[in-house]
A and B are shown apart, each in its own frame.
Chain A
Amino acid sequence: MNELLNSFDRRRRVFLNLLLVLVFLFSLTAIKWNEDLFHPGGGVMIVQILKSVLHPALSIDIIYLALEATWITLVYAVIGMSLAIVYGFIVGTLASGILIKNPLLKKVSIPFFRGILSFTRAIHELVWAWLFVASFGLTPYAAIFALAIPYGGILGRILADALNDVPVEPIQALKAAGASRFHCLIYGYLPSVWTTMISYTLYRFECSIRSSTIMSFVGLGGLGYQIQLSLADLKFDEVWIFLFFLVLLVVLVDLWSVLLRRSINSFSSNLFSTKRASIIIICLLVSTSWYHVIFMQQANFLQLFSSENVHYAQKFFVGMLGINEHPPAYLAWINWKNAIGLTWETLVMSILAIGFATFVSLLTVIPASRNFANGSLTLKRSIWQWIAFGLIRISYIFSRAVPELIWAMMIIFIFQPGLLPGALALALHNFGILGKLCAEVIEEMDEKAIRNLAASGASKGQMLLYGVLPTVMPKFLSFIFYRWEVIMRTTIVVGFIGAGGLGQEFKLSMSFFHYSDITLLLICYLILVLIADFFSEWFRKAAK
């Protein structure tokens, strides 16, 4: 028996991986695999969508429209981020507890501020947007706050973690020199976390462009709005143009962040100009964006608090609390039963989505690694490796540049509403991200151990199995779980357009003004997100 336990313990990681595969296979049974999955004309639609890639609508009018829409999308992303940074910095610093001396106060304030951060980031930006629109009406600020709140939450959480990870010795030295807590923050803590925070903020900026795109769903203009209009008219040739602009914008931001990170890490004078140029670009972007929103869009902040809006907001929140209902939806068992069923559906959808995304990215990740393409990994070179590398990398870029909701809007032309199109949309967006992250793991891997396998006579397949796989798998798993958490937050969003689960019900309740149902659905959604966070944390520890 002991021997059996031992042998189980030795293969724990293998069994845990097998368990994950089984969970995914089980989730596949939730779908009824028959021809009802497709729209009657779904096949024709795929052909049409793909055909129009070859001749996108390259007219001056459309290009001009696309440029304008790109600008709007960028403006809102910049403004949302600028507010998110302010919120994240203040609450993140408070949540790290480094400014507070009193131990009792510290014990209370850290969980309090961390709680605020986790609550704000647990809810997807589009859900925030909808809540704001329902309470304040359709103003640009609904979209801006909807972006700033969850993004500030995640930035603040990362800042708090980074501040807590700062080594104590330099801080103690500062304190010994008579520095106050505030001095320590400026001279000790912030310089230590500066580089991490810049690169993380830039990554989030890239994400905020996608989020700003899907704000079209609550009435904001921009690329998402144009895509929605063109899709409604079945003008796929136009859709592609807008998609290309979106991809281009995301790629440019990505490129900028790579350049900036490189210049921060090196001190050569030539690259110093990248830093200076970046500061100028940031200042220009922020000031023109605010100018655009305040003066061109005439977005009056004070009008938010007009008596009319206050009335609506009051009505909305009273509705959410269900004060005039007997009983409110979140206190009735029948509603809970229904909501639990939807929660389960949403969970299954998220597992399907991460399963598909993982499957595709694992299939493609090795040829997508630069060190495989140039032959330094397996000591075999061929032009086909470079061609495969290029094609897969392009598909990764496209996959991650287009937000889940936009993928979903296209997929529902092909599939009947249900779990599968939602899962596919989530997977389409995530396989590119996963693939890119995992390819970077392979590229940063120590190749010497792998080459040594070749020297011991291992074949290509054996090298992947014995060298690459065990080295990269723990990191892959942690990425997969991280993306699963993100997917869980996003399931509700693809539900909005008919992918089933909590999101679909959320949309229906919003349309019928069943505000106390919304409260119930949000509770279920938050529980699901928290379970995902908890489980993924647990699994990462167990797999170690």
Chain B
Amino acid sequence: MTTSTILEVKNLSKSFERKISISSLSFSVEKGEKIAIIGPSGAGKTTLFNLLTGTLPLEVGEILIDGQLIEYWQRKKLLADKIGIIRQQFDLVESLPVIQNVLVGRLKDWGFLKSLWSFIFPQDKQIAYQALKRVGIEDKMHVRTSTLSGGEQQRVALARLLVQKPEVILADEPVSSLDPARSKDILNMLTKLADEEKQTLITTLHSVEYAKQYFTRIIALKKGQLYFDLPSEEVTNTLLEDLYRLKELNEDE
């Protein structure tokens, strides 16, 4: 694998009304890497993702994507080609049929008129069908999204990512509300698809076990700071215990 940096985070900080969410965070990601971000609740994982997708405005620090500042991609409206996100909940527009939610991945390439037309007569049907077939729910193409189960909805979100084809996939707690069997199923699919499409995958996870099983590198965050950044096999139980310990023995650390 050729190593070239796709994503670089430099000295990133973000706070909400006095409360620090992320403080001077730096790390870089090579193309094709599969990274799990772990850490206790409130460590700043979701904030980090919202910064990476441009959902939250950047205040302190820099984010470089493919060697360019994130603002550059936003200005050129190309950020969606670079970064795509999948979340566990509130991800899909539930009152739309499945096919429309999948085609949301095409919106970045469509003008307004084409989107308007497609709203009534879906366009690029083949692309949507292929994507749904790859995640195994092509029979649900015309079903209303709200009638699907949690696992099926997550597959729709995956299909949308397939259509969007971003270079980096961010997955925000993709399995937190699924049972173990479905969690494994989704993680398997996610990593497999990322491999096939040669995409970079960054996932936040609650489960350390899954992180070690499916990902090659683990970044741990605690109170908005980098706690460790190691290959999966070097993460020890002692480190994990420290990471999730409720009370700090030594506040200065």
Q: How far is the CB of B174 from chain A (nearest CB, A)?
A: 13
Judged by DSSP, the binding face of A is helix
Tell whether, in the assembled complex, residue B110 and residue A462 are in contact, meaning their CB atoms are under 8 Å apart. Answer: yes
Tell whether, in the assembled complex, residue B142 and residue A10 are in contact, meaning their CB atoms are under 8 Å apart. Answer: yes
Number of A-B contacts (CB under 8 A): 84
Tell whether B87 is near chain A: CB-to-CB under 8 Å. yes
Tell whether, in the assembled complex, residue A462 and residue B107 are in contact, meaning their CB atoms are under 8 Å apart. Answer: yes
Within B151-210, the residues touching A (CB, 8 Å) are: 160, 164
Interface string of B107-137 (1 = CB under 8 A from A): 1111010011001100000000000000000
Tell whether, in the assembled complex, residue B120 and residue A455 are in contact, meaning their CB atoms are under 8 Å apart. Answer: no
Interface string of A446-489 (1 = CB under 8 A from B): 10111111111111011001110011011000000000000000
Tell whether A11 is near chain B: CB-to-CB under 8 Å. yes
* A449→B83 CA distance, assembly (Å): 17
Residues in chain B near residue A449, CB distance under 8 A: 90-94
Residues in chain A near residue B97, CB distance under 8 A: 10
Tell whether, in the assembled complex, residue B119 and residue A465 are in contact, meaning their CB atoms are under 8 Å apart. Answer: yes
Residues in chain B near residue A451, CB distance under 8 A: 55
Given A455-B55, A455-B84, A456-B108, also A465-B93 (CB < 8 A): no
Residues in chain A near residue B84, CB distance under 8 A: 455-456
- In the A-B complex, the 5 residue pairs with the smallest Cβ-Cβ separation, listed nearest first, are A457-B80, A457-B108, A448-B90, A458-B107, A455-B53
Tell whether, in the assembled complex, residue A466 and residue B112 are in contact, meaning their CB atoms are under 8 Å apart. Answer: no
Tell whether, in the assembled complex, residue B87 and residue A457 are in contact, meaning their CB atoms are under 8 Å apart. Answer: no
Tell whether A252 is near chain B: CB-to-CB under 8 Å. no
19 additional contacts, CB 8 Å, given A452-B87, A452-B91, A456-B104? A10-B97, A10-B142, A446-B90, A448-B89, A450-B93, A451-B55, A452-B85, A453-B104, A457-B77, A457-B108, A458-B107, A459-B77, A461-B112, A461-B115, A462-B115, A465-B116, A465-B119, A471-B93, A474-B95
Within 8 Å by CB of A379, from B55, B80, B83, B96, lies B55
Interface string of B72-90 (1 = CB under 8 A from A): 0000010111011101011
Within 8 Å by CB of B95, from A452, A458, A470, lies A470
Tell whether, in the assembled complex, residue B104 and residue A458 are in contact, meaning their CB atoms are under 8 Å apart. Answer: yes
Residues in chain B near residue A457, CB distance under 8 A: 77, 79-81, 107-109, 164
For B, the interface residue count at a CB cutoff of 8 angstroms equals 35
Within 8 Å by CB of B80, from A10, A455, A473, lies A455
Closest to B108 in A: A457
Tell whether B150 is near chain A: CB-to-CB under 8 Å. no
Closest to B56 in A: A379
* A451→B104 CA distance, assembly (Å): 12
Tell whether B40 is near chain A: CB-to-CB under 8 Å. no
Tell whether, in the assembled complex, residue A456 and residue B55 are in contact, meaning their CB atoms are under 8 Å apart. Answer: no
Closest to A452 in B: B91
* A450→B55 CA distance, assembly (Å): 11
* A461→B108 CA distance, assembly (Å): 12
* A462→B119 CA distance, assembly (Å): 10
Residues in chain B near residue A387, CB distance under 8 A: none
Tell whether A14 is near chain B: CB-to-CB under 8 Å. yes
Closest to B109 in A: A457
Tell whether, in the assembled complex, residue B96 and residue A454 are in contact, meaning their CB atoms are under 8 Å apart. Answer: no
Within 8 Å by CB of B104, from A446, A466, A473, lies A466
Tell whether, in the assembled complex, residue B55 and residue A467 are in contact, meaning their CB atoms are under 8 Å apart. Answer: no
Kindly name the residue among A6, A453, A466 whose own CB sees the greatest number of chain B CB atoms within 10 A: A466
Tell whether, in the assembled complex, residue B112 and residue A470 are in contact, meaning their CB atoms are under 8 Å apart. Answer: no
* A449→B90 CA distance, assembly (Å): 5
Tell whether B105 is near chain A: CB-to-CB under 8 Å. yes
Interface string of B22-33 (1 = CB under 8 A from A): 000000000000
Q: How far is the CB of A471 from chain B (nearest CB, A)?
A: 6
Given A10-B97, A466-B104, A466-B119, also A456-B164 (CB < 8 A): yes
Tell whether, in the assembled complex, residue A11 and residue B95 are in contact, meaning their CB atoms are under 8 Å apart. Answer: no
Q: How far is the CB of A23 from chain B (nearest CB, A)?
A: 19
Closest to A11 in B: B120
* A456→B160 CA distance, assembly (Å): 9
Kindly name the residue among A449, A452, A455 whose own CB sees the greatest number of chain B CB atoms within 10 A: A455
Residues in chain B near residue A446, CB distance under 8 A: 90
* A19→B234 CA distance, assembly (Å): 64
Within 8 Å by CB of B55, from A454, A461, A466, lies A454
Tell whether, in the assembled complex, residue A459 and residue B107 are in contact, meaning their CB atoms are under 8 Å apart. Answer: yes
Tell whether B100 is near chain A: CB-to-CB under 8 Å. yes
Q: How far is the CB of A450 from chain B (nearest CB, A)?
A: 8
Residues in chain A near residue B91, CB distance under 8 A: 448-449, 452
Residues in chain B near residue A461, CB distance under 8 A: 112, 115
* A392→B79 CA distance, assembly (Å): 34
* A462→B87 CA distance, assembly (Å): 20
